[in-house]
Amino acid sequence: MPSSTSKHAPVILITGTPGTGKTTHAQLLVEESPLPLRHINVGDLIKDKALYEEYDEEWQSYTVDEDKLLDELEPLVSAGGVILDWHTVDIFPERWADLVVVLRCDHTKLWDRLEKRNYPLKKIQENNEAEIMEVVLDEARSSYAPEIVVELKSEGTDDLESNVSRVVQWIEAWRQDHSVSD
């Protein structure tokens, strides 16, 4: 069920395996959106606000304190007009999301992208397996209503432009459905 109709703009979750273009999509959406949106890179927020329990050296990632993260995000999300960009979304309450965009990428392209980021081999392999097995897509589909989960290919500039255009059209429809004016 969508969140409160008193919001001035929707809450959009952009997710996907690391390297699928979440941040690039979110930044472009903020620029192109007909409604004001704020991009929150959840991974950066976790680091900046110390919303973690520890850092795992082997995986080069943080063990997130989910309660602290949700407490930090709740007031921001409840106001609406937010794009949450993170590699997983199943911890976010269903009531938060108006749209869940799952970005997908061919695993060979993904491998190259993660190598360029200097990810350790073990992390590249794990993320590639997750992409092949559709882990993020399955999490999104099992956590949110099917009608708000959209799977989009993200393999190049054409996909990026098409995806952003599609989401901008969705935002326009959301605005009309919620009688929000500029």
Round to whole Å and give the CA distance between 79 and 8.
7
Contacts of 112 (CB under 8 A, 6+ apart): none
What are the b/e assignments for 139-152, b being 16+ CB within 10 Å? bbbebbeeebbeeb
Q: Is 43 annotated as a binding residue?
A: no
Residue 24 annotated as binding site: yes
Annotated binding-site residue? 19: yes
| Alpha-carbon gap, residue 163 to 153, rounded angstroms | 8
Q: Detail the residues annotated as belonging to a binding site for ATP.
A: 19, 21-24, 117
Q: Detail the residues annotated as belonging to a binding site.
A: 19, 21-24, 117
